Amino acid sequence: MDNILNMLPPLLEGAGTTLQLFFITLILAIPLGLVLALLRMSRFAVVRQAVSGYIWLMRGTPLMLQLLFIYFALPFVPVIGVRLPDFPSAVVAFALNFAAYFAEIFRAGIQSVDRGQYEAAKSLGMSYGQTMRRIVLPQMVRHILPPMSNETITLVKDTALIYVLALNDLLRAARNIVQREFTVTPFIVAALFYLLMTLVLTWIFQRLEQRYARQDQ
């Protein structure tokens, strides 16, 4: 028991890094994903194709590869040539990657809204922005909750990938203790941390789904 208590401070510090990356990614990726979803449905073919290409690229390549590219290869890219520190590199990679997934979720949610809603809003003299803000997006939310729940839980687990950048996240903190103490207990405790985080997220999304289900009745 004493050993576990001694493990908690470094594991909590690692969990803090994990949660920090998780929340910053959500704050950046959700609005970016919504913008990409709207651009994906643009009337301009060039814009649609450019956004589709971006989404295809980000969804078609491993997140770890994107992470390593931004950290190691970005400084050698002509014109850009910027070297980001380890944590900002992780934030950029995660935000760009998950924005692509969120964009497809948002697009599917927007397209699930009946076309009659658009016509009704147009007959009331609403602009496109007003229609989206007051009519479409509020209805979209109830449709996207299940896939958003899955993607958000995936984000929690994918934060372990920053291990490759030597960031002191939860997984690295656990591994450091394993190498020092020669016991697998830190991995078990780390697993419990991840399970707790996913449990909280699952509960939050279930509550949201129940709330919208009551509104439909």
Confidence of residue 2 (pLDDT cuts 50, 70, 90): low
Domain spans of the chain, in order of start: 2-216
What pLDDT score does 203 carry?
95
Looking from the CA of 122 toward its CB, the CA atoms found within 13 Å total 6
Question: 30 pLDDT exceeds 80?
Answer: yes
Residue in the structure block whose two tokens are 């770890």: 64
User: How would CATH label the architecture of 2-216?
Assistant: Orthogonal Bundle (1.10)
What pLDDT score does 205 carry?
93
Confidence of residue 74 (pLDDT cuts 50, 70, 90): confident
| Entry pTM | 0.90
133-160 per-position pLDDT tens digit: 787 888 888 889 999 999 999 999 999 9
